[in-house]
A and B are shown apart, each in its own frame.
Chain A
């Protein structure tokens, strides 16, 4: 099945700096890669996603890049703010059944 690796597990940055989280996937058939932000005890919130026919997507301070050849995708957050502090999960579609397979998560802390 699909295996999604996510790094780093924890990330601490100063407010205003950029944060980058990287994920790799194993199944070359995966074609949808969403990123979720989860605050403690709450549901994951979709923050950005990318499909396999696109190499990069940007939404204000958030961007995602995809390298299909290398099977890795990354989340970039610029001008970080304390409210960006949360756990971020990458995911990949596990085959045609549309079950998301999640990475282990990255706990991001943005300090003022």
Chain B
């Protein structure tokens, strides 16, 4: 059974479009995260939710909006996609904010 799953795995879209990435964890963890890994491989946190409540919101353009319908799901919606949004987006979850378990990643390409 996949512990942290993301859909889609690959996403190719045009500039200006709006897209969503979904994340689900079946580990019973309270905290979930979104990270962005750019072409230089730097992994940077974007958002964190604890039990559906936003607790970390890094300096991310407000075109990015996370939504947590319940503690097992954390989705990421991106408006007006730009070329610079091309990256791999990882979802993660953790039981107490220490060890984090990552999903397989969503490779977003904006053309």
The answer to whether A and B come from one shared complex is: no
